[in-house]
Amino acid sequence: MDFSFTEEQNMLLETTRRFVSREYGFEARKQITSSETGMSRKTWSSLAEIGLLALLVPEENGGLEAGPVETMLVMSALGEGLVVEPFLTSAVMSTSAIARLGSTVQKEAWLPLLAGGEVIAVFAHEEKAASSDPLRINTTATPAGGGYVISGSKHVIYHAPQADLLLVSAKLPEGQLALFAIPANTPGLRMQAYPTVDGRRAADLHFQQMFVPADTRLCSADANEVIADVLDLGLAALCAEATGSLDKLLAATIEYAGARKQFGVPIGKFQALQHRMADMLIHREQARSMSYLAAIRAGEQAGAERSRALSAAKVVIGQACRFVGQQAVQIHGGMGVTDELDVSHYFKRLFAIEKLFGTTDSHLRRFSAAAS
């Protein structure tokens, strides 16, 4: 299969890489992650200025109307720089959901603001009760008084403390799902915020009989299909981010092994470590191939083949995150776990990626279920 990219796609990749290299060095990132908000609105505005936040916005709403492959390229470059801004949840998942489900009025209200970086949206779907079915949720939306009453909780919602808009999934009395675009300052929302292991911010969201107007619901149709599509698009994008981080971590390890000397020679000369780094390279290449497959399948119609491909990608990439991360830390020794070295930050992000959107074990079960 030909995995070469078009001239426009290569330009998009290089534009993103130049931005990350110019404005998101390791020291700049440390200052951002240690700030009160854990992100940079200036960086977010810069991402909007170069058009990245409009990547999945339809052309009629002033966007680029790109697809999963373009998303993969941008996410890979952002993964190389360990960018902590909420690109995945806002510019990819939330933007895609509104573009797919929103009415004309809702699209005109939200998509230009999202593309311009004026609003950060967070896709709030994950719940604490683990389930093999990602569409099986307990949060409910009950029609009442010309609107809906939202009750329930969402668990470990990345970037929720920074959000202006929450896209909350809830189950209607008839059993189908609906998606609501709810301003983050709506009364009845209790947010428990905390830092995550990978230097980001997340929160548990508790909806305590929260009333929202009817026009906060995105469209009146059954949202199950769109939510499933958005979750798979997000999973493919996360896999792409992992490949960017894997690239940088492998390169840092090879460079260190060539410079660090033991017994008068670089440790990269030792055959045992050469074998380790060769295995790291194999895992990285397998992860990249599966990321391509995930991006291609994410743009297809839902079905068993798409589910199998995306779960297979998450399994292979999850295994690569664990193996490459652990080997990089071991080869670096004690330095590999210090905050002063970028290796530890790549390791922690890869650790988190392996857990997000379903663990390796859960996707192995999903892969098997899709085959039967």
Instruction: Tell me the pTM.
Output: 0.96
What tokens were used for 270? 């030792």
pLDDT in tens, 348-370: 999 999 999 999 999 998 888 87
Look at strands 165-171 and 121-124 and give their pairing.
parallel
**Token pair 């009146």 is at which residue?**
220
The pLDDT of residue 131? 67
**Token pair 């699209």 is at which residue?**
107
The pLDDT of residue 130? 62
> SS3 for 288?
helix
The pLDDT of residue 121? 98
The pLDDT of residue 138? 95
CA–CA distance, 229 with 169 (Å, rounded to integer): 14
Residues of the chain with confidence (pLDDT) below 70 = 1-2, 130-131, 220, 372
Q: Which residues contact 372 (CB under 8 A, 6 or more apart)?
A: none
- In the beta sheet, which residues pair with residue 195? 201
Closest among 244, 339, 349 to 288, alpha carbons compared: 244
CA–CA distance, 83 with 91 (Å, rounded to integer): 14
Single-letter amino acid code for the residue at 309: A
Label residue 62 exposed, middle or buried (CB < 10 Å: 0-12, 13-18, 19+). Answer: middle
> SS3 for 129?
coil
What domains, with CATH codes, occur in the chain? 7-118 (1.10.540.10), 123-216 (2.40.110.10), 224-371 (1.20.140.10)
